[in-house]
Amino acid sequence: MESEFEGFCSGNQILTKHADRWQKISFGVPVLDRLTDGGVCCRGTFEVSGDPGSGKTQIALKLALSAQREVPDASVVYICTEHMFPSGRLLQMEQEYKRRHPHDSAIQARNFADHILVEHVRCVPSLMACLFDRLPKLLAKTRIAVLIIDSITNPFLEETNYVSRAETFRAIVHDLQQLQEQHNFATFVTNQVRAVIDSATLDDQRLVPALGLAWSSLVHTRLQLSRNLNSSDRRCTVVFGPSLSPKHGYYCIDESGPVDAVVHTDGTEPCE
């Protein structure tokens, strides 16, 4: 369903008339909020890509907790495509989250895990049925703050018809945008990476997000994560975003999930 044309208006009028459209959901991690000017926007598809162990799922779990604080009485939909939902880790993070906010009665009273609605899918037909059959029925009766897909990559790994795959990408993003317009929630996906070798030198290997240009052209904002093998710190880089400038920051993972990395006393960055 196309949105009705409401006439032209100024940028300031848009921000005041439709403020909820531009709401951002905090990651609950200060460095990630600084990099994204507040968190995950409630319009478009927000992606975090990175190599294994860089913290993609940890960030998704932290977002699932933070979103319930940001949007009272809302739930989170979490679609797993690669592994079983890490319930034990979530409960550990929730316990630590409450311990670090002892005087916040709303946090202490809420059972966060009960409001994270989990679905497991393994293939494209199951993903499509989940997103466009079961999800709309859920949205009709339950308010959600964030839809998390962890990861968008796995269902498409066996797909060899790239034309059909690109059409499916467009259908997913288009239909999710329509649902966002109706129900005002953020869409957050994780993505795997693949190695690309420079054909000229055959040794200049770099990691790029999986699924190629057909998917990348549909992503609203992308962050890329990387590990430092000599440190527990991870690096997050802004790859693109319509209102973001290229920059990076560092984080690490503790009992509560992702947190800001400790800045060195000499002022150098954590991984230096």
- On whether residue 16 sits in a domain, the answer given is no
- On whether residue 108 sits in a domain, the answer given is yes
Residue 60 clears pLDDT 60, i.e. is over it:
yes
- On whether residue 10 sits in a domain, the answer given is no
Residue listed under structure tokens 């403020």? 19
State the CATH number of the domain containing residue 217: 3.40.50.300
- On whether residue 89 sits in a domain, the answer given is yes
Structural domain range at position 155 = 23-260
Share of the chain above pLDDT 70, in %: 89
The model's pTM is: 0.89
pLDDT at 202: 47
Domain count within the chain: 1
Cα–Cα separations (whole angstroms), residue 25 to 37, 63, 69, 179? 10, 8, 9, 17
- On whether residue 177 sits in a domain, the answer given is yes
Residue 115 clears pLDDT 60, i.e. is over it:
yes
Token pair recorded at residue 246: 């290229």
The DSSP string of 192-246 is -EEEEE-TTTS--EEEEETTHHHHHTT-SEEEEEEE-TTSS-EEEEEEE-TT--S
- On whether residue 35 sits in a domain, the answer given is yes
- On whether residue 51 sits in a domain, the answer given is yes
Residue 205 clears pLDDT 80, i.e. is over it:
no
pLDDT by residue (tens digit) across 142-176? Answer: 999 999 999 999 999 888 899 999 999 999 999 99
